[in-house]
Amino acid sequence: MTTVIGHEWVIAQLNQQQEQGRVPQSILLVGPPNVGKSTVARQVMQSLNCQGDIKPCQNCLACRKTLHGNHPDLFIFDHEEQTLKIETIRELQHSLALSPVEGRYRVALLTHFDKATLGAANALLKTLEEPPPQVIIMLTAPDTNSLLATIVSRCQILTLRPLPQAEISQGLQTHWQVALDQADLLAQLAGGRVGWALRALQDEHLLTRRRERLQDLLTLLAANRVDRMNYAAKLSQDVALLKETLVFWITMSRDLMLLQAGCQTEIINFDWREQLQPLARRLTINQIKPMVTELRQTLINLDRNVNPRLSMDVALLKLPRL
């Protein structure tokens, strides 16, 4: 599925550059998780080799092969949980040294490049410095700070921003036939991250897990040390679930901060306003602010493979106590 909601300017800009014969050989897409970087990158790949008039046409042989993942000139490394190693870059460099088989360009997409090893990053830098003709390298990362400055300076940087709620809701209704009410709810909860809304559509339990986790945080705020440690032990057994939980908790503590500042309309978990409002009154800003910081830091630590159990122990013990 390459239907893209929003970010149309990326394709428009690259199509224009292509017409003018000045397509950048290294492209870096940055933006928050689930904002649509990988989807947009795949559409760019499609567009670069498309043989139709309006690119990507979705109909020509190149477009269809790209869609099915069997275009011989495209190379994709898209594993969030796997570290990109130097060996993969070496293999890629061998493939990129050859001329395109069918397309105009050989294109490589390396997502989550912030998680590549230093060796892999340095190896890729050589290719970015002297790219073979007809080769385009695309990278994605949450921000430019998470990459080597030497890599960033070689790339054209395209920044994807969270999309307006109305645009996500409209997209869900048009492309996925979601009913108005549900589209509005998902768009609101997504907080601009269209990928989150799409995942929620495909994973019917996601909304249930969200409700349970938000309730857990309310319970934990009133819980003692032992109960918090027990919860950390249980939750840290599944890192993917743990990361998802932290994202729910970050949105919730951010909402508490907004409620305290009197910004009712901007909160993400608007269907929890009645539970959150009294809580925002009981906590001080000096309790909530460090909570947001701590939860965000824990998520970053997990991405850096810090021990999940240890990270959760620390995070939960630092939560304010009601």
Query: Which residues are near Zn ion by CB under 5 A?
Result: 50, 52, 57, 60, 63
Length of the chain as a residue count: 322
Q: Which is nearer to Zn ion, 52 or 132 (CB)?
A: 52
Residue 138 bridge partners (DSSP): 27, 109
User: Would you say 118 and 84 are in contact if contact means Cβ atoms under 8 Å apart?
Assistant: no
Given the complex with Zn ion, which of 57 and 306 has the nearer CB atom?
Answer: 57
CB 304 to Zn ion: min, Å: 40
Contacts of 308 (CB under 8 A, 6+ apart): 236, 239, 242, 302
Closest to Zn ion by CB, 23 or 50: 50
Nearest CB to Zn ion, comparing residues 57 and 201: 57
Name all contacts of 220-228 with Cβ < 8 Å and 24+ positions apart.
220/316, 220/319, 221/279, 221/319, 221/320, 221/321, 221/322, 222/321, 222/322, 225/317, 228/316, 228/317, 228/319
What secondary structure letter does DSSP report for 103?
A: S
162/278 Cα distance (integer angstroms):
29
* The Cα angle at residue 318 between residues 322 and 247, in degrees rounded to 5: 95
Q: Helices (H) and strands (E) in the chain — how many of each?
A: 15, 5
Distance in Å, CB of 60 to Zn ion, minimum: 3
Q: Nearest distance from residue 105's CB to Zn ion, in Å?
A: 14
Of the candidates 156, 112, 159, the residue with the CA atom closest to the CA atom of residue 23 = 156
Phi, psi of 108, deg, nearest 5: -115, 135
Whether the CB-CB separation of 219 and 60 falls below 8 Å is answered with no
Report, in Å, the least distance between residue 86 CB and Zn ion: 34
Decide whether 10 or 302 has the Cβ nearer to Zn ion: 10
Q: Which is nearer to Zn ion, 57 or 125 (CB)?
A: 57
Instruction: Find the shortest distance in angstroms from Cβ 154 to Zn ion.
Output: 28
CB of 41 to Zn ion, least distance (A): 16
Question: Smallest Cα–Cα separation from 288: which of 315, 255, 317?
Answer: 255
Q: In the bound complex, what is the minimum distance in angstroms from residue 194's beta carbon to Zn ion? A: 23
Q: Which is nearer to Zn ion, 52 or 164 (CB)?
A: 52
